[in-house]
Amino acid sequence: MADNNSKNENDGSKRSLIFSYGTLKRGLQNNYLLQELIDRNDAVYLGSCLTHIPYPLVIGPYGLAYIVNFPGNGHRVKGELYSVSARGLARLDELEATSRGHYERLPIRVVRCPEETTEPDPTVNDDDVVEADAYYAHRSFGEALWDKNHRQGLREYSEKEARLYVRPEDRPNASRTIVDDIWLFISSSETHQ
């Protein structure tokens, strides 16, 4: 499998591997963006995968999924792997509001797996591990969000959890930022797990 710095042979642009685990997954609400990128040759779907080690995967306000950067906690998370151009990566960073402290794009190690797999393959060796990037809950609220979910995480963000998703245009109080809404969610008694 290609690494993060592989070149697209058609256009010579730098490509990055992105692990998608939430609303960007196929069939879910924000996958339209990856489909647009695929249609413009700025992304390629590479298949289903699991994180190499466990991570907390929790649901926050508006049904948004977050991996919290506490490796070794939670479960091995199922998601999808994409190869994305630099132009596509900029679009994903914009959607994930990395410049506004919502998510942060950091390295993660994943292992490709069959589509129907939710359990780790005991025969996987280190040669099967791929370095990618994922969008983690920003460090300013990640631990608090993990605590809010009673340090209980999911194995996968599925259609069931995706039903909780609220589109940005349908969210109340448009004058607040998503980070403000996360802190309100953390301080409330509401949970989604």
Task: Summarize pLDDT for 98-145 with one digit per residue, the tens.
Answer: 999 999 999 999 998 866 655 555 556 666 899 999 999 999 999 999
**pLDDT beyond 50 at 160:** yes
Q: What percent of the chain has pLDDT over 90?
A: 75
Rounded to whole angstroms, the maximal C-alpha distance in the chain is 52
| Per-residue model confidence (pLDDT) at position 66 | 98
At residue 173 the predicted structure's pLDDT band, cuts being 50, 70 and 90, is: confident
Among residues 9, 36, 80, 96, the one annotated as catalytic is 96
pLDDT at 134: 98
Q: What is the pLDDT of residues 21-58, one digit of tens each?
A: 999 999 999 999 999 999 999 999 999 999 999 999 99
Q: Is 130 helix (H, G, I), strand (E, B) or coil?
A: strand
Is 96 an active-site residue? yes
pTM for the full model?
A: 0.86
Give yes or no for a contact between 139 and 44, defined as CB atoms under 8 angstroms apart: no
Collapsed DSSP state (helix, strand, coil) of residue 65: strand
Element (H, E) at 161: helix 159-162
Q: What token pair was written down for 62? A: 């508006």
The predicted pLDDT at position 6 comes to: 44
Class of domain 15-187: alpha beta
More confident residue, 169 or 65: 65
